Amino acid sequence: MTTQQLTHQIKTKKSFLCIGLDVDLNKIPNYLLNEEDPIFAFNKAIIDATHHLAVAYKPNTAFYEAYGLKGWKSLEKTIHYLNENYPEIYTIADAKRGDIGNTSKMYAKAFLEDLGFDSVTVAPYMGKDSVEPFLSFQDKHTILLALTSNQGAFDFQTLSVNNQELYKQVLETSKTWDNSENLMYVVGATKAEYLQEIRHIIPENFLLVPGVGAQGGSLKEVCKYGMTKNIGLLINSSRGIIYASKERDFAQAAVIKAKELQQQMEAILIHAG
């Protein structure tokens, strides 16, 4: 999917909501455990109920790998279901990969080509040749970790290098890589005030923003500092939506939570004109 198509979807749906599909068998309704593939059954119900309110879905691969072969199968079924039934939806493999060049090429092929995701999250620590193999895929995005939403972000990401924080150096350096127009960045909502300076470095690229909701970030603040004329934001919510209820009404409960966020987004989009 191109950036333009994503922006078009956002403007049509009046939403820049991304729903994180981080499925933990201990947290889904018990009755689903009788299904042949409980994870896929859960995802399918969430997707069918919320697809008109969200523009993107983001399975975190850890939750699938944790269930071994079965989990990997659930991930395959989920991405295929999305691509077949809701081709307008933007899909993100939240994999946080990154390895030496020939290995990153294998990961890129696995997620962007074979599984057919629109994008994959990648860690920057190993530098240019660990990220460029992902960037070479046409109409796909590579979402680079910049400033994450966890406490550990302050261990290294905000240390000063070349008179600026490391995550800003990551932003600057990544702009020089081949096909850098295919980059998006992870920037946690828990540090919304950082977004102003981030936008000085990368005025156009989309940001994937976790940490609204469960982790305490403010949607309004994020939009105030991070929104561009092409919107440029995907706000992720996982637990706050998909685990809104552990009963048979879980999908309807997810709709209510997703709708709350979508309506806040719609108000912001109208206000932004």
Find the shortest distance in angstroms from Cβ 237 to a copy of itself: 14
- For residue 123, the one-letter residue type is A
Q: Name the pairing type of β-strands 164-165 and 160-161.
A: antiparallel
Find the shortest distance in angstroms from Cβ 259 to a copy of itself: 26
Nearest to 212 by CA among 18, 39, 2, 13: 18
Taking the least distance from each CB to a copy of itself, the nearer of 76 and 260 is 76
Taking the least distance from each CB to a copy of itself, the nearer of 113 and 249 is 113
Task: Give residues in contact with a copy of itself (CB under 8 A).
Answer: 22, 24, 60, 62-63, 65-66, 68-69, 72-73, 76, 96-101, 103-104, 106-107, 109-110, 114-115, 123-131, 145, 148-157, 159-162, 166, 169-170, 173
Helix (H, G, I), strand (E, B) or coil at 2: coil
Q: Identify the active-site residue in 11, 14, 70, 96.
A: 96
Q: Which residues pair with 187 in a beta bridge?
A: 147
Q: How far apart are CA 156 and CA 187, in angstroms?
A: 15
Distances (CA, A) of 189 to 22, 127, 209: 18, 24, 6
Residue 78 structure tokens: 């989920």
96 is an active site residue: yes
Find the shortest distance in angstroms from Cβ 236 to a copy of itself: 12
Find the shortest distance in angstroms from Cβ 263 to a copy of itself: 27
Contacts of 82 (CB under 8 A, 6+ apart): 47, 57, 89, 91
In the block, tokens 């004329």 appear at 229
Contacts of 224 (CB under 8 A, 6+ apart): 192
Residue 265 has, within 13 A of its CA and on its CB side, a CA count of 27
Taking the least distance from each CB to a copy of itself, the nearer of 159 and 267 is 159
The residues annotated as belonging to the active site are 96
